[in-house]
Structure 1
Amino acid sequence: MMSSSFKQYDFKPFIMDAIDKLGFHAPTAIQEKMIPMIRKNQSAIGQSQTGTGKTHAYLLPLVDQVEEERQQVQVVVTAPTRELAKQIHAEVKHLTDGTAIQSKLFVGGTDKQRAIEKLKTQPQIVVGTPGRINDLIKEQALLIHTATSIVIDEADLMLEMGFLEDVDQIASRMPEELQILVFSATIPEKLKPFLKKYMENPQYAHIEPKQIQAENIEFVIVPQKSKTKDTVLYQILTSINPYLAIVFTNTKSKADEVADKLLEKGLRVGRVHGGLAPRERNKMMKQIRDLEYQYIVATDLAARGIDIPGVSHVINYEIPSDLDFFIHRVGRTARAGSSGTAITIYEPSDEDALNQIEKKGITFKHQEVKNGEWVTLNDRHKRSNRVKTENETDQKAKSLVRKPKKVKPGYKKKMKYKMEQIKKKERRKNRRNNN
């Protein structure tokens, strides 16, 4: 149908050709909401999970609006990691193939002088990491005062990795009438002052996370019990013998701590988090792709924007406080039609989070490792259901046995006896119903 296809947007012929080559049949939910706003030159915030088509939600309308004959910077796209910036730039190249539109990629860890040489001619589209783009602006090599749109992709990761200051400086050198497009899986509280500073009345599109695509993923939860979490993790890792496993922690310091402990035990462990210097991370990613490691300890930086092929297992050392990240994490495995396993270590305080995840359509296997073997445990809900039933039985017994108006010696004993009889009867009834 015309209304659900890309024809409704009346893109230039080269964009429509690119869409055909990419095999896109109809816009995704985030594209349907964002493309009309962007085409009206409105500033907007798009919030949706990974894999929903966010990149093309902004690239299609922005590339379509580029004036080929104007050899000035018109669009700036910032991304928190060089890996993501490279992926975005590759998509720009697909869209502009065969046109006179020039785009340039600028990321850290590359020769700055060479980048300055490239800027003798200003590209119409700039893609890169905020630090390197800001460096080139300061060198007066990159002239962004002519740009009309800036994209801040994966804004929550920008915040986590400390790049918002660079983005702030870039935006402050751009025209006042600037279209700002922010894309993020989550909108943390600390991001809001930045958004308020630059976006007066932004349009907002929030696409609720879909249920996790669980067909090819086996979900397992492992109780910590009386052991240390590091002991449980080591038992899991040495029992699964993965092709490649990512262990997720919530902070950079915890990732380093866990990686160091696993290294001490003789495991081949790499690490990926925002605290690594650009050169270190480049080297680490190369080593991971060359399969020098069997285990990677990472923060949520690796859950989005960095494509690590061949992940057979994902282990949640900690459950993320924002459960959308659980979806991003487990999505690292079972890619391209392969299967995978997602294992989560939990403690009693995680019960509510696990219940919330189950509401997203996940069914967990409840297991633990004993003497190197995987053992199936009772349903974790069984105990809480039993406690609930016991409480209900107590309440019923109390309501049925009333204190007599005239009390005689020993009345408390008699009341207690009657209550116990009622409880026994209720327990027998509950057992019959459950069998």
Structure 2
Amino acid sequence: MKHNFDRFELKPFLIDSLNQEGISLPTEIQERLIPAIKNGQDVIGRSQTGTGKTLAFLLPMLNRVKPEEETTQFVITAPTRELATQLYEVCKSYADKSDKQITSQLIVGGTDRLRMIEKVKHHPHIVIGTPGRILDMLNQQALKPTHVEALVVDEADQMLDMGFLEEVDLIASRMNKNLQIMVFSATIPEKLKPFLQKYMKNPKQVDVDAKGASPKNINHWLIPDRDRDRKNILVNITKVLNPFLAIIFTNTKESADDVFRTLQAQGLNVDCIHGGMQPRHRKKVLKKLQDAEIQYLVATDLVARGIDIKGISHIINFEIPKELEYYIHRVGRTARAGWDGIALTLYGRSDQLSIEKLEKQGIQFVYKELKKGEWITIEKRIAPVQKTNHTPGPPVKSTKSKQKVKPGYKKKAKREMEQRENRQRRLKRKND
């Protein structure tokens, strides 16, 4: 049973902030982790996008900040500039409601490094940033780790995938031995466990089921490519959708660029974002999204992990993600705040196993096809029958001999031919 936030005994400015945001009931991960984080316990939160994990650690941290002390007390790391920026903005929006000033600082690349060093030297209470830049601030002795009470590692599995876990390790090693560690991740890969064992002391682990992360008001459509060029299919889809905002997910940066150029050539209001782009361009695209100036956004899974973009009406999976957990991340971008959403996924012959695994996770797909500008529901596609290794032998040729034959030879030859055909039929049945 869920209760309101009063039971957590949070400071009044936090309760007021929640009320202004229209948030009255904690999510499952907030309910289970806020008390532990308030008490300084190490925690591991395994949850998908949209479960409310950001407030699960921000609320108790802001509650613990000592405004009167001019020291950095909390450090939050995120794998991308975009996610770090979003965390900073949420943190600042709540901290600004406090009667006593709570300071925070964003530390990411793509900004003036010397100015950032000067700002960090003023010891903001909370520092939020990417691992590389935070480590740089430690090396420059601008960021003082002496009084840091807790370190948050957000999207830890993505940190691992992007090669940032070593930098996070170096950051944690600079902190004091009594440091509280909070790790949040969609999955807990084996390669992440040595880090957890190295720094965490009897952590409280909370697993939030993936089914709860995919809103019930999402319609999941599967669209067969029938071995045709998917870009042509996508163009036809855009002609009938007319979404408020649709995100088109691809698995690679190269594919994203290719799809973007195709849609741009069609005259669509489209933009593109992925990890291979310059920070300035990515920031510009996100600003255009927030101002509702884009109708189609082509993206890799960089956007799926934690970036909160409002007003997404459609998700289009140009490809099924190789890591199926990302399907939940992708579709979780739509159907927010009680709105409905549609997730369209293009698939081919090789995707049948992935589809079956997603169905076992509770995803209910509807098979659709676009014909003459109209959506029609089709029957579930069955995986193509695999060919057997049996290859029938060449047909037996019957040739008439020009030579004269002895009486009874034709009957004997006919009998032998029938026996040979019977053997071939038996062999074929056996192989089948």
TM-score bracket, shorter-length normalisation:
0.7 to 0.9
8 Å Cα contact 2:211-2:362 kept in structure 1: no
Q: CA deviation at 1:17?
A: 4.2
**Any residues of structure 2 matched to 1:93-112 within 5 Å, and which?**
93-96=92-95, 97-112=98-113
**Partner secondary structure for residue 297 of structure 1:** strand
Match of 2:62 in 1: 63
**Partner secondary structure for residue 60 of structure 2:** helix
Match of 2:5 in 1: 6
Q: Distance in 1 between matches of 2:223 and 2:245?
A: 19
Q: Distance in 2 between matches of 1:179 and 1:371?
A: 59
Match of 1:349 in 2: 350
> 1:61 corresponds to which letter in structure 2?
P
Q: CA deviation at 1:336?
A: 4.3
8 Å Cα contact 2:121-2:143 kept in structure 1: no
**Any residues of structure 2 matched to 1:167-206 within 5 Å, and which?**
167-199=168-200, 201-206=202-207
Q: Distance in 1 between matches of 2:291 and 2:18?
A: 33
Q: Which 10-residue stretch deviates more, 264-273 or 240-249?
A: 264-273
Q: CA deviation at 1:50?
A: 1.7
Q: CA deviation at 1:299?
A: 1.6
Q: Distance in 2 between matches of 1:243 and 1:295?
A: 9
8 Å Cα contact 1:242-1:312 kept in structure 2: yes
Q: CA deviation at 1:361?
A: 4.7
> 2:46 corresponds to which letter in structure 1?
Q
Q: Distance in 1 between matches of 2:141 and 2:24?
A: 42
Cα RMSD (Å): 3.2
**Any residues of structure 2 matched to 1:20-419 within 5 Å, and which?**
20-96=19-95, 97-199=98-200, 201-211=202-212, 212-215=214-217, 217-263=218-264, 268-289=269-290, 293-370=294-371, 372-380=373-381
> 1:351 corresponds to which letter in structure 2?
Q
For residues 30-83 of structure 1, the C-alpha deviation after alignment (integer angstroms, 9 at most, x for no partner) is 122222322332222101122222112112222222223322111111222333
User: Which consecutive unaligned segments of at least 5 residues does structure 2 have?
Assistant: 386-418, 426-432
Q: Which 10-residue stretch deviates more, 191-200 or 278-287?
A: 191-200
Q: CA deviation at 1:221?
A: 0.9
8 Å Cα contact 2:150-2:182 kept in structure 1: yes
Q: Distance in 1 between matches of 2:25 and 2:216?
A: 24
**Partner secondary structure for residue 71 of structure 2:** coil
**Partner secondary structure for residue 57 of structure 1:** helix
Q: CA deviation at 1:18?
A: 4.0
Q: Distance in 1 between matches of 2:289 and 2:24?
A: 35
Q: Distance in 1 between matches of 2:173 and 2:14?
A: 31
Match of 2:414 in 1: none
Q: TM-score, normalised by structure 2?
A: 0.78
Q: CA deviation at 1:244?
A: 3.1
Q: TM-score, normalised by structure 1?
A: 0.77
Higher helix share: 1
**Partner secondary structure for residue 209 of structure 2:** coil
Match of 1:401 in 2: none
8 Å Cα contact 1:270-1:288 kept in structure 2: no
**Structure 2 CA distance for partners of 1:27 and 1:264, relative to 1, 3 Å:** closer
Match of 1:404 in 2: none
8 Å Cα contact 2:86-2:307 kept in structure 1: no
For residues 237-272 of structure 1, the C-alpha deviation after alignment (integer angstroms, 9 at most, x for no partner) is 344344432111223343334434545666554222
Q: Distance in 2 between matches of 1:189 and 1:274?
A: 25
Q: Distance in 2 between matches of 1:341 and 1:56?
A: 27
Q: Distance in 2 between matches of 1:95 and 1:293?
A: 29
Q: CA deviation at 1:206?
A: 0.7
8 Å Cα contact 1:214-1:362 kept in structure 2: no
Counting aligned pairs with the same residue, the percent is 51
> 1:170 corresponds to which letter in structure 2?
I
Q: Distance in 1 between matches of 2:204 and 2:340?
A: 39
**Structure 2 CA distance for partners of 1:8 and 1:265, relative to 1, 3 Å:** closer
> 2:348 corresponds to which letter in structure 1?
E
Q: Distance in 1 between matches of 2:103 and 2:312?
A: 35
**Structure 2 CA distance for partners of 1:312 and 1:173, relative to 1, 3 Å:** same
Q: Distance in 2 between matches of 1:336 and 1:18?
A: 18
- Larger radius of gyration between Structure 1 and Structure 2: 2
**Structure 2 CA distance for partners of 1:179 and 1:271, relative to 1, 3 Å:** same
**Structure 2 CA distance for partners of 1:252 and 1:166, relative to 1, 3 Å:** farther
**Structure 2 CA distance for partners of 1:15 and 1:46, relative to 1, 3 Å:** same
8 Å Cα contact 2:50-2:332 kept in structure 1: no
8 Å Cα contact 1:161-1:274 kept in structure 2: no
Q: Distance in 1 between matches of 2:67 and 2:287?
A: 37
**Structure 2 CA distance for partners of 1:180 and 1:253, relative to 1, 3 Å:** farther
**Structure 2 CA distance for partners of 1:33 and 1:311, relative to 1, 3 Å:** closer
> 1:87 corresponds to which letter in structure 2?
Q
**Structure 2 CA distance for partners of 1:46 and 1:377, relative to 1, 3 Å:** same
For residues 148-188 of structure 1, the C-alpha deviation after alignment (integer angstroms, 9 at most, x for no partner) is 21001122233334433432332222112211101112223
Q: Which 10-residue stretch deviates more, 166-175 or 179-188?
A: 166-175
Q: Distance in 2 between matches of 1:291 and 1:25?
A: 28
8 Å Cα contact 1:243-1:294 kept in structure 2: yes
Q: CA deviation at 1:349?
A: 3.1
User: Which consecutive unaligned segments of at least 5 residues does structure 1 have?
Assistant: 388-409, 417-435
Q: Which 10-residue stretch deviates more, 263-272 or 302-311?
A: 263-272
Q: CA deviation at 1:94?
A: 4.0
**Structure 2 CA distance for partners of 1:343 and 1:112, relative to 1, 3 Å:** same
For residues 348-378 of structure 1, the C-alpha deviation after alignment (integer angstroms, 9 at most, x for no partner) is 3323332343345544332223455444323
Q: CA deviation at 1:87?
A: 3.0
Q: Distance in 2 between matches of 1:294 and 1:273?
A: 17
